[in-house]
Chain A
Amino acid sequence: AQTVTQSQPEMSVQEAETVTLSCTYDTSESDYYLFWYKQPPSRQMILVIRQEAYKQQNATENRFSVNFQKAAKSFSLKISDSQLGDAAMYFCAYRSVYSGGGADGLTFGKGTHLIIQP
């Protein structure tokens, strides 16, 4: 079974600064997807960014980018120019590309609470 670990329960950053959230995962599969989701106080889960394991190029979405290190099984999220609206719980998630058989769906980490200091 796959596991996802987020070692930072809480992070704090000044507005307009850059912050990096860490995520490591454990899997024996070679092909999979990784995601970062944001959950603000409203509890609505919002997809921030995705990364396909077979792609070496790191994904980027505006101020959000990832550092994907497949060999190290590391998938960190960098948020540049932090804004007050970025304050939320951030979840790292893993999804196998192989369907069927046992538990599947997204495997989530425990989350990192990101605080933005004005």
Chain B
Amino acid sequence: KAGVTQTPRYLIKTRGQQVTLSCSPISGHRSVSWYQQTPGQGLQFLFEYFSETQRNKGNFPGRFSGRQFSNSRSEMNVSTLELGDSALYLCASSLSGLAGGAYEQYFGPGTRLTVT
């Protein structure tokens, strides 16, 4: 079974631009979560989608948004990029985030975003 895939793997953007990152979960997984990893803040939860609905959101500004499609693929968008948005963005999928469901999250290889 194929793992979680993320595209693109590397991205360089200029401050003020916007960017869209894509994530395809493991086949059969309906929950997709996004995380930001930086040397200073570590791994921080951005948001989680389940059945095309955002179920949870971390403490990030509204410039960070996402969506999930009917095939469970997800995209996250960052508008008006700032230098501090430079990070590794990780996507993780799981079978279900609901109580009683499986909670293991399986991660993709990440997208390395550099903002100049």
A-side residues, CB < 8 A to B, are 33, 35, 37, 42-47, 50, 91, 95, 97-111
Contacts and interface: CB of A to CB of B under 8 A. Distances in A.
Interface of B: 33, 35, 42-48, 55-59, 88, 90, 92, 97-99, 103-110
Given A47-B104, A108-B44, 19 more contacts: A33-B103, A35-B104, A43-B88, A43-B110, A44-B109, A45-B92, A47-B105, A50-B103, A100-B56, A103-B57, A103-B58, A104-B97, A105-B33, A105-B46, A105-B48, A106-B45, A106-B105, A108-B42, A111-B42
Contacts of B33: 105-106
Contact of A105 (B42, B56, B104, B110): B56
A45 B110 CA distance: 9
A19 B103 CA distance: 27
A99 B57 CA distance: 11
